[in-house]
Structure 1
Amino acid sequence: MQVIALISGKGGVGKTTLAANLAVALVERKKRVLLIDLDPQNAQRLHLGMDPDEIAGLVREGVGPDSIFDSPFGVRFIPFGRVTETELAEFESAIKLDPDWIANGIQSIGEDVFDYVILDTPPGPSVFLKQALTAAQRALVVILADAASYVTIPKIITLVEEFTQGREDFCGMHLLINQMPGQSQLGHQVRNALYTEYGSLIVPVAVHKDPRVSQALAFERPVLQFEPHCKASLDIQSVADWLLASMTP
């Protein structure tokens, strides 16, 4: 079982959408996938067809076999859950005292139940980021080809190194460019700068900006199911193939 954390230094980079669709792509490749939503926005339920009135999730049920929901798309998932500000504050305080809470919960499910566990995290430093990086064997840092994302990279690299220090089972991190504009001089300049500065860390596939992604979300479907042959879907499938190949011994 491989645990992959999707993280970001800033919001608005499409990380949650990418996590859901990457999970679907792995399922399409006959992998057993669990997606755990560690973001208090609780948005994964919108991508995976969950009843909008359901309040259950990570905060109330924890991580275990009984807290897993089935999606119509083959991905099994644990939503964050709908919580009050007081419940969220109490939950954050509790897991801050137990940095292995997520890791232990994943282990309680069983080593052979899933091939991949994907952890979706809120942007920036947080107790949830630390939990994810304590559990994960790999981190994918989702970025945009813009100056705002570029300047967050050194800090997120430092956080990854801090939270995974001494972990022999941690395989490293990569930068994944999302929403790459097809025609943007600035975007391509930033992309070139990223390759110059971080070439060995960059996933060799960028996911292009595609209006079908937002259209799919409006129908509460992953774009891979909504329009499997659009540019973004093909890019995400290529990322999944790269991920599988890079994890093969």
Structure 2
Amino acid sequence: MSLPQPAAEGRSRGAVDLSIARETAGREEEVGLAPNPRGLGPTGRPRRHIPEPPLLDRHGPASVLAMCNQKGGVGKTTSTINLGAALAEYGRRVLLVDFDPQGALSVGLGVQPHQLDQTIYNVIMERPVAIHDVVRQTTVEGMDLLPSNIDLSAAEVQLVAEVGREQTLHRVLQPALAEYDYVLVDCQPSLGLLTVNALAAADAVIIPLECEFFSLRGVALLIDTIEKVRERLNPRLEISGILATMFDPRTLHSREVMARVVEAFGDIVFDAVINRTVRFPETTVAGEPITRWAPRSAGAQAYRALAREVIAR
């Protein structure tokens, strides 16, 4: 898959459209929500109608979704937390898997990783420890967490000598799949053995993509890795969608990157777009998803729209 070419030098500096900036100054939460006179969404396409998800009369087996991008700082952890919370609002049972040794997902849900006695590392490396021994409830009803901390960094080295090392996460998740509707795996920002484990365990991949030109450069490598995992380890693996994050409609650069993402990937790009907002850092400090911290905010509405798309797909 060929990537879009960079914008011309004179138009790729994040130039601000002053008229839009003046209109939206001081109203960050409303950016991107004003009625579009042409009926187009932030992606430049007409919004597809996504119905309200039906209620469930039972749970499971879970679909496993890997939130993956080898570039850091693109919103993987934020999207994992808030998509999970939005899915839970729609009556789905969700397990969030912190598969990053930095433990950012755990911190974002109010858990202090260094205080944990058992984490996903113990489930992976110690046979007597079962996944149910480590899973813990969050403040969101219907959403649980499999936490992580820096111990997980040792697993990447220790797994090298294991037989079937790429299938380790798939093996440990199996006993829990019947209890959940979705398992969201927050991957580390690399394409190492832990990420390959997440891809081998997943049914589909969601790629959070920051609306910034350098974020585009690594997508081809990621898609190549996904294709290799599909061919060699996990034939059911597919790309669920590309999620545009940190979008600022006031800047020409963001709009140009969005146009190139849609041009390159087409319908695989979610209609839901996550705008840049001060609300997300606040939720990290609070240890709450935005759907609880600021339930009426644009960010909360965007993740609810994403949850509807994920369920529909």
TM-score (norm 2): 0.73
CA distance in 2, matches of 1:130, 1:89: 11
**Farther-moved stretch of structure 1 (72-81 vs 4-13):** 72-81
Kindly tell me: are residues 24 and 96 of structure 1, through their superposed partners in 2, closer, same or farther at Cα, counting changes over 3 Å? farther
Of the candidates 41, 52, 59, which is equivalent to residue 121 of structure 2? 59
Q: Please name the residue that 2:66 is paired with.
A: 5
Taking structure 1 as reference, are residues 94 and 4 closer, same or farther at Cα in structure 2, changes over 3 Å only? farther
1:15 is displaced (CA, Å) by: 0.7
Alpha-carbon contact 1:130-1:163 (below 8 Å) kept: yes
On the 8 A contact 1:95/1:127 being kept in 2, the answer is no
Aligned residues: 244
Q: What are the residue-to-residue correspondences of 1:1-249 with 2, within 5 Å?
A: 1-51=62-112, 53-62=115-124, 64-74=131-141, 75-83=143-151, 87-88=154-155, 90-93=157-160, 97-109=164-176, 111-165=177-231, 167-246=234-313
CA distance in 2, matches of 1:84, 1:115: 25
Tell me by how many angstroms 1:169 deviates: 2.6
**Does the aligned pair in 1 maintain the 2:245–2:275 contact within 8 Å?**
yes
Partners in 2 of 1:245 and 1:89 — Cα distance?
A: 35
Counterpart CA distance in 1 for 2:72 and 2:162 is 23
Instruction: Find the structure with the greater CA-based Rg.
Output: 2
| Distance change (3 Å), C-alpha of 1:91 and 1:44 | farther
Do the aligned partners of residues 92 and 240 (structure 1) sit closer, same or farther apart at CA in structure 2, a change above 3 Å counting?
same
- Is the alpha carbon distance of 1:154 and 1:177 closer, same or farther for their aligned partners in structure 2, counting shifts above 3 Å? same
Encode CA deviations 1:203-240: one digit per residue, 9 max, x unaligned.
Answer: 12111111111111111111111001111111111000
SS where residue 99 of structure 1 aligns? Answer: helix
| TM superposition outliers: structure 1 runs of 4+ over 4 Å | 94-97
Residue 27 of structure 2: aligned partner: none
SS in 2 for 1:105: helix
The answer on whether the counterparts of 1:180 and 1:208 sit within 8 Å (CA) in structure 2 is yes
CA shift in 2, pair 1:83/1:183, >3 Å: same
Residue identity (%): 21
Q: Which amino acid aligns with 2:197?
A: Q
- Match for residue 24 of structure 2? none
Matched-pair contact (CA < 8 Å) for 2:156–2:193: no
Distance 2:295 2:162 in 1: 38
Structure 2 unmatched ranges of 5 or more: 1-61, 125-129
Q: Distance in 1 between matches of 2:180 and 2:224?
A: 30
SS of structure 2 residue aligned to 1:178? strand
Q: Deviation at 1:172?
A: 2.9
Structure 1 distance, partners of 2:263, 2:249, is 20
Rounded to whole Å, the distance in 1 between the matches of 2:193 and 2:163 is: 6
What secondary structure is seen at the aligned counterpart in 2 of 1:141?
strand
Partner Cα distance (2:311, 2:173) in 1? 20
User: Separation in 2 of the partners of 1:30 and 1:10?
Assistant: 32
- Secondary structure of 1:228's match? coil
Distance 2:208 2:162 in 1: 25
